[in-house]
Amino acid sequence: MKTIVFIIDQVYMHGGIERVLSVKANYLASLSNYNITIITTEQKNKVSCYNFHEAISFVDISINYHRNKSYFHPKNLLKLPKHIFKLKKEFRKIKPDVIVVCSHSTDTYFLPFISKHIPKVKEYHYSKYIEEPIRNNNRKSFKKYFLNFSDFVNTKYDNIITLNKTEASHYTSKNVITIPNPLTFYPKHVSTLDHKIVIAVGRIATVKGYDQLIDIWEKVNLSKPNWKLYIYGEGDFDYTKTLQKKIVDKGLKDIIKLKGSVTNVEKELLKASIFVMTSINECFPLVLLEAQSCGLPIISYDCPYGPRNIIDKNTGILIPVANQQQFSNAILKIIEDRDLRISMGKNARINSIKYQVSNIMEQWDAMFNNLISN
């Protein structure tokens, strides 16, 4: 029996990391040779937003960091001793064979240095591309020193997991393994691609470029006023208000809908005919795989580094970042050419098969076996 502990801040809010964790943990819990525990630091007695296998054990150690402040703000740093003490206490009870750190919070930086006899794995779900301006700047700064410290911490994990090979090239340590995210679902049926709906799904944040998407859709609407754009997700309150105002100011309130969070994203994807992504950077956007599994062609900015690892000319169209005119032209092209839409949708569905959970979890199982045997 292999006992695995996953560590995450919470599982009550919708998010890609939380959704992927539920898929991986559920798969392992369904096997007879795995014992799974999920430790949270701030679940706050709230119900999980995703379904978890009944065999999974949950432990919340109630550190409750101040989420509106940096994890390294003095008020949060004062919580560190309690955090370390409670984790070590749980490890002694559970006796895990491997510990996996999912989210990028304070525990990332101290876990390799406690309970050293237990193998530890760190997952990275963001792109290190965002660090390049700091790393390439010759001027010394606190942020640069901190990134050097972060690099040192990474070398102390038994394995670092990156989601694509391009991302792996940013790491200098020798413990890096690339394992992509698994599909969260693979529906029996696909979209008919006849719905006059284009869909975007993701956290409402400036990095997702939804303000640009509204400008892009303004151009599309000039020739295709009977098509609608639905954006699913929640997040930054002020940015959401800015987007809503922009939609109203452009006279598109009946055309572009901010639909909020969605639990059954599969259902909404199957009602759409095209998926769009205007992110400025991504690591390995799970929602692109989900859209492909539903047979949707995808149009996305060719941002570092996720989309280009999923989309090719047979499954969608990659657009240079911030080229709104080319993006709107691509949407119109796929709207107007039904045969192209269907061809891309079929190829997208085929491409998604290699990311089915059983295929991806075979790689996790091999890594766990290797860590435990060594």
Same domain, 57 and 150: yes
**Domain ranges, residue 321:** 197-355
Residues 6+ apart with CB under 8 A from 102: 6, 7, 8, 17, 21, 123, 125
What span, in angstroms and rounded, lies between the C-alpha atoms of 231 and 257? 6
Same domain, 327 and 368: no
> In terms of Cα–Cα distance, which of 310, 368, 290, 350 is closest to 180?
310
What span, in angstroms and rounded, lies between the C-alpha atoms of 44 and 94? 22
Sheet of 316-319, strand order? 256-260, 228-232, 197-201, 274-277, 298-301, 316-319
Average pLDDT score over the chain: 95
Same domain, 115 and 81: yes
In a domain, 188, yes or no: no
More confident residue, 94 or 69: 94
Same domain, 304 and 236: yes
Same domain, 316 and 238: yes
CB 73: neighbour CB atoms within 10 A? 12
Residues above pLDDT 90, as percent of the chain? 83
Same domain, 79 and 121: yes
Same domain, 237 and 329: yes
Same domain, 6 and 76: yes
In a domain, 258, yes or no: yes
Residue range 231-261, pLDDT digits in tens: 999 999 999 999 999 999 999 999 999 999 8
pTM value is 0.86
Same domain, 143 and 14: yes
CATH number at residue 210: 3.40.50.2000
Same domain, 262 and 166: no
Kindly state the average pLDDT of the residues 140-158.
91
Give the pLDDT band (50/70/90) at residue 228: very high
Residue 197 in contact with residue 308, Cβ under 8 Å?
no
Same domain, 98 and 26: yes
Give the pLDDT band (50/70/90) at residue 132: confident
In a domain, 117, yes or no: yes
Count structural domains, the chain.
Answer: 2
